[in-house]
C-alpha cells in the first residue's frame, strides 16, 4: 500500500466513526424528546420518523412506551430491574427511572 492509500483509508475510517457517533447521538436525542413529551402529556405523542421502525407505531402513550421498552430489554437480554420481578414491577421501575429524569423547577 502506498502512503496515499493508507492516509485515505485512515481519513475514511475517521469520517465513518464521526458519522456513526453523530447518528447515534441524534437518535438518542430523538428518544429523549419522545420521553419528555410522554412524561409531560396525558395523551399520545407523535413518534419521530426515525424511531417509528423501532417502536412500530406513529403515536404512543406513556403506558405503551413503557411496555415496549420492557419488551425491548427482554429481547436484548438486558432486563436489569425491569424483568427481575415481572412486567408489572418492571413497568413501575422504568416509570420511576423516567420520572427521575424530570427536574422540578420551583416557582420561587
pLDDT 10s digits, 63-81: 899 888 877 776 666 555 4
Q: How many CB atoms lie within 10 A of CB 89?
A: 13
pLDDT value for 94: 62
Average pLDDT over residues 6-10: 84
Q: Which residues are registered as beta bridge partners of 45?
A: 60
DSSP state of 83: T
User: Over 80: is that where the pLDDT of 27 sits?
Assistant: yes
Q: How confident is the model at residue 36 (pLDDT cuts 50, 70, 90)?
A: very high
Q: Look at residue 83 and tell me if it is in a domain.
A: yes
Q: Look at residue 106 and tell me if it is in a domain.
A: no
Q: Look at residue 71 and tell me if it is in a domain.
A: yes
User: Over 60: is that where the pLDDT of 26 sits?
Assistant: yes
Q: Look at residue 88 and tell me if it is in a domain.
A: yes
Q: Look at residue 108 and tell me if it is in a domain.
A: no
Domain of 36 in residue numbering reads as: 3-100
Contact 30, 48 (CB under 8 A): yes
Give me Rg for the CA atoms of the chain: 19
Q: What is the number of domains present in the chain?
A: 1
Q: How confident is the model at residue 87 (pLDDT cuts 50, 70, 90)?
A: very low
Q: Look at residue 87 and tell me if it is in a domain.
A: yes
Q: How confident is the model at residue 104 (pLDDT cuts 50, 70, 90)?
A: low
Amino acid at each position: 500500500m502506498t502512503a496515499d492509500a493508507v492516509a485515505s483509508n485512515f481519513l475514511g475510517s475517521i469520517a465513518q466513526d464521526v458519522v456513526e457517533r453523530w447518528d447515534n447521538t441524534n437518535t438518542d436525542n430523538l428518544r429523549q424528546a419522545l420521553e419528555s413529551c410522554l412524561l409531560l402529556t396525558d395523551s399520545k405523542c407523535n413518534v419521530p420518523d426515525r424511531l417509528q421502525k423501532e417502536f412500530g407505531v406513529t403515536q404512543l402513550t406513556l403506558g405503551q412506551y413503557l411496555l415496549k421498552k420492557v419488551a425491548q430489554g427482554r429481547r436484548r437480554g438486558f432486563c436489569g430491574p425491569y424483568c427481575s420481578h415481572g412486567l408489572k414491577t418492571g413497568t413501575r421501575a422504568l416509570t420511576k427511572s423516567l420520572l427521575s429524569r424530570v427536574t422540578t423547577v420551583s416557582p420561587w
